[in-house]
Each structure stands twice: as structure tokens, then as C-alpha cells.
Amino acid sequence: MDTAAVIAAVPVGLLVGGLVTMLVDRVPDATPLAWRSRCPACEAPL
């Protein structure tokens, strides 16, 4: 694999991983995807 491809793949992988983590956390609870993260105890925005 070419060095430029590896350098480009790292940020793309981080973005996709973050999106998948958000979906796994929010979809089962039916939490809207557009809202900012909130504290589960007091609902204060993070």
C-alpha cells in the first residue's frame, strides 16, 4: 500500500469509526442523531 493512501486512510477510518460508535450508542435508545451528546444522569449537554 502506498504511503499517501495510508495517510489518507487514517483520518477516514477515525471519522467512520466515530460515526459507527455514535450510531451504536444512539439507535437502540431512539435518541435523535442530530442532537449534541448529553449526560445520562442529568441530561446536561456535554
pLDDT value for 10: 96
Sorted by sequence, the CB contacts under 8 Å of residue 30 that are 6+ apart come out as none
pLDDT value for 23: 93
The pTM score is 0.67
Give the start-to-end residue ranges of the domains of the chain. Answer: 1-46
The per-residue pLDDT for range 1-46, each reduced to its tens digit, is 799 999 999 999 999 999 999 999 889 988 888 888 889 899 899 8
User: Rounded to an integer, what distance in angstroms lies between the CA atom of residue 44 and that of residue 41?
Assistant: 8
pLDDT value for 32: 86
φ/ψ of 19, rounded to 5, equals -65, -45
